[in-house]
Structure 1
Amino acid sequence: MAQRAPKGWDWLRVIRRGVPGVLVIAICLVILLLVRLIERPLFGQRRPITPYITCFVCRSVIWLIGFPYEIKGRPMRHPGAVVANHASWLDIFTLNAPQRIYFVSKSEVAGWPGIGTLAKATGTVFIARERREAKLQQDLFEQRLGAGHKLLFFPEGTSTDANRVLPFKTTLFQAFFSEALRDQSYVQPITVNYHAPEGEDPRYYGWWGDMDLIPNVLHILSTPKQGRIELVFHDPKPVNSFENRKVLALDLEETTRAAHFSEISTSKPAK
Structure 2
Amino acid sequence: MHKETTTRLRVFARRLWRIPAVAFWIGCGLLLSLGMALLQSLSAKPLDARRQQLAGWWMRGLIRLLPVQVRCHGQPATGTRLLVSNHVSWLDIVIIGAHAPVHFLSKAEVRHWPVIGWLAAAAGTLFIQRGQASGSALQEQLAAALQQGRSLVIFAEGTTTAGDQVRTFHGRLLSCAIDSATPIQPVALAYRQNGQPDRTAPFINDDEFSAHLLGLLGSPTITVELHFLDDLQPDSGTRNQLSRSAQSAVSQALGLTDATVKAETFAPVSSAA
Task: Report TM bin, short chain.
Answer: 0.7 to 0.9
Amino acid at match of 2:192: H
Amino acid at match of 1:256: V
Change (3 A) 1:15 1:56: farther
| In 2: Cα distance, 1:19 partner to 1:127 partner | 33
Secondary structure, aligned partner of 1:97: helix
Q: Specify the alignment match of 2:102 in structure 1.
A: 101
Once the two structures are superposed, the pairs formed by residues 155-234 of structure 1 within 5 Å of their partners are 155-178=156-179, 181=180, 184-197=181-194, 202-223=198-219, 225-234=220-229
Q: Specify the alignment match of 2:268 in structure 1.
A: none
Partners of 1:131 and 1:171 within 8 A in 2: no
Change (3 A) 1:108 1:171: farther
Amino acid at match of 1:241: S
User: Aligned residues: percent identity?
Assistant: 26
Once the two structures are superposed, the pairs formed by residues 60-75 of structure 1 within 5 Å of their partners are 60-75=61-76
Secondary structure, aligned partner of 1:88: coil
Amino acid at match of 2:187: I
Alpha-carbon displacement from aligned partner over 1:79-100 (angstroms, at most 9, x marks no partner)? 2311111111211211111111
Partners of 1:186 and 1:237 within 8 A in 2: yes
Secondary structure, aligned partner of 1:240: coil
In structure 1, stretches of 5+ residues that fail to align are 1-5, 263-271
Change (3 A) 1:21 1:32: same
Moved more, 115-124 or 207-216: 207-216
Q: How much has 1:38 moved relative to structure 2?
A: 3.0
In structure 2, stretches of 5+ residues that fail to align are 1-6, 257-273
Q: Specify the alignment match of 1:54 in structure 2.
A: 55
Aligned-CA RMSD value: 2.3
TM-score, normalised by the number of residues in structure 1 = 0.83
Moved more, 135-144 or 186-195: 135-144
Alpha-carbon displacement from aligned partner over 1:93-129 (angstroms, at most 9, x marks no partner)? 1111111111011222222222211111111011235
Partners of 1:69 and 1:230 within 8 A in 2: yes
Partners of 1:164 and 1:260 within 8 A in 2: no
Higher relative contact order (CA 8 A, sep 6+): 1
Secondary structure, aligned partner of 1:43: coil
TM-score, normalised by the number of residues in structure 2 = 0.83
Change (3 A) 1:185 1:36: same
- Tell me the number of residue pairs that the alignment of Structure 1 and Structure 2 aligns: 250
